[in-house]
Amino acid sequence: MKSRPDRQEGAHHAHPAVVQPNKPALLKRMNRIEGQVRGVAKMVEEDRYCVDVLTQISAIQSALDALAMQLLENHTNGCVRAAIKSGNGVAAVDELMTVVKRFSR
């Protein structure tokens, strides 16, 4: 990931905006997940069998986990690596571990 100094920092975080590697593939994954979620809503509207709905929800969770892992890999190989090289590795690794713990629950 490369920092985008020309973009303003988000009001929520004090981190610079980044350019995601493989952004088109990530967006394609997100669009597919969005379609799956709409499909589940339609299944509920149509009073579909509970197990079928739950199966689709499980597929969505798996897809979200795979997306999160890809983003985590991008972050580690981009932002964290850059922070280590610039001498800010301790904070970056602490932040990384906080995120990893969030996903390991």
**Residue 3: predicted pLDDT:** 47
**Predicted TM-score (pTM) of this structure:** 0.79
Instruction: Please tell me which residue, 24 or 104, carries the higher pLDDT value.
Output: 24
> Mind listing the pLDDT tens digit for each residue in 42-69?
999 999 999 999 999 999 999 999 999 9
pLDDT at 79 over 50: yes
**Residue 1: predicted pLDDT:** 53
pLDDT at 19 over 90: no
What are the helix (H) ranges across 46-88? Answer: 50-75, 81-85
Nearest to 54 by CA among 64, 63, 44, 46: 44
Residues 74, 20 contacting (CB under 8 angstroms): yes
Please give the mean pLDDT across all residues of the chain.
88
pLDDT band, very low/low/confident/very high, at 83 (cuts 50, 70, 90): very high
